[in-house]
Structure 1
């Protein structure tokens, strides 16, 4: 539906067909998925639950809906066929919101919800529920006419749907969020009010908050960090990946940077200062200062033990870097890289120095983003060493950091459902 088109009542979407761009039917709408928001903010419509011919129910994000017209939904042609699983923060419109008793704000009278209307925000790809069709009097079934006055009111004219800011402790929210991945929890926090966002952030432990901050848009990061006590803010920055922490510090006023750096451990603060000395979109600015570094006399067994560290990202665990002492960055002379697959093929007692990849040229810390992306594409790498003119390993750039800087600035605010995607036209 184009921006500015008439609103659609959800009852009209129940059971309508979903088509790909070629005109082939891929399923039918069985429900709508919304995220309730704190206070009087209208719920955001995340997507549709679509039932395929196989009876499997999948999630279709609204970002992949190109039109809703003439009793049908048209998609972009790409579907995520993973079975739909409702998240704790989501509500089903047909299953949970219709035929519900809510209260008219002006009169305090209880009414039954018969229908809801959705519309697309002008000049944006987001959809919201904006109006509620209610009936006064006794409770009845959704979509069914009954005695009692029926009227359509704005979403803000009723209460009983939205999360309440008062009386909702952070402990209850954290129990709900416990199983969410950091990126999903970040998405939840992004849509909370600033008050609730600060409460949840304060209740998270340092490591969990650090993981979530790395997934949030920059404005949210700065807001949350600014509401923490300075000592705790420094602890959370230490728990973040060094490159992400340096990026966040770099957005703060100089005085705030210095206060936080003085509260950090000297070694962590030194890493932050070193990373902040490079331009943002260079290898030095993108790298982490904590790759796996081994001495040449380390064994394959030693390397595999380091790779097993659960705190490492998959990209950093994909290879180890062999250097002469000192082992921490900046290291002694960089000798080469050993890839994880090679480690799996070699006897555990073998020395890592005997299986080095010496042909892989490291990145210069001043290398710019296009050159870095070209390096990853050319050599099919997920991580790359960064070495200075003296031959010391400074850190490693991972592919996720490259993608972070190549995607649009607001990409974190868009819902992505990328796993198990297939083209509905069979391509």
Structure 2
């Protein structure tokens, strides 16, 4: 029963966040009852699944479309709910056998598999795309060439990746939670891995909280509340975790053309809307808005804070240089994860009777990808320095494994 509550709760939470985000983004107005399938498709992509776009505009026209993006707000919501449900029965336990943990995870995985199959089968739909009221629209209606856009899922691949996603969430939940039991053979790893894992999760969640506060302030000051809530509910981690890596000095490459655009903040769209592939980093962003240098300051505060939390949760016998190494390794893995899930790619093209082309005025393209090894390389010195600083700040904090002598009365 607890496994069922965990899986249903996770899927329901993801569905609510995805539906509200899509509604705020205007997807409720999609034709032919596409809202529910689009919501299902959003949930599939949130766990790493693949959604394939297709186009059909008759014999006289051609369409082409593609989309690769992970709605990380939906992903984060599902991960937190599933992790909480998975850990709840394991509270107040010192040690759990590997067989017991595997059995509990297996029950959750079996139900999650059924839910994934249902989502992937529901995430398919086809609907008409309006060409407008001008000459192009009249030609499309005359020759029966009004385009239809459809999407479907690669069921085997999406189910496989979704199961890998679940495994990652369950493993990370065990690593982060101090109260969750581990098999006896893994207890020796908890003093080095658990504090670092907890610190990185706290770091990522802190970025999201700061992003929400900034977004709400901007919405209150400048309006566009509906668009802001769409970003919060669908892709706020995409933005704030990107900002975290940029504050470290990382560079992302990208380009925006046509009707596509990055919703928030506007300076990203300005930098990327160039004839050639643009670089997105502190230097290029500062040419449009000097306030981006505050990202550097925020990263220093957040990373030192995360390192302090890691050191405070570690046994007292761990030395400062060991904290620095642990912090560097954890930050490298975190930045690498952001580089994997933060990529964005979208394109759409349409041609009717030779008017327009698949990549020109009737289409658009957006992509954003990181310079992975540069970002990962920068994470090493950042982790070493902030890890050492956090360890020094935590020297006077009473930690597990520390014994203080008491003066005899």
State the TM-score, normalizing by the size of structure 2: 0.23
Between 1 and 2, higher relative CO (CA 8 Å, sep ≥ 6) is seen in 2
Structure with greater proportional strand content:
1
State the TM-score, normalizing by the size of structure 1: 0.22
Structure with greater proportional helix content:
2
Of structures 1 and 2, the larger Rg is shown by 1
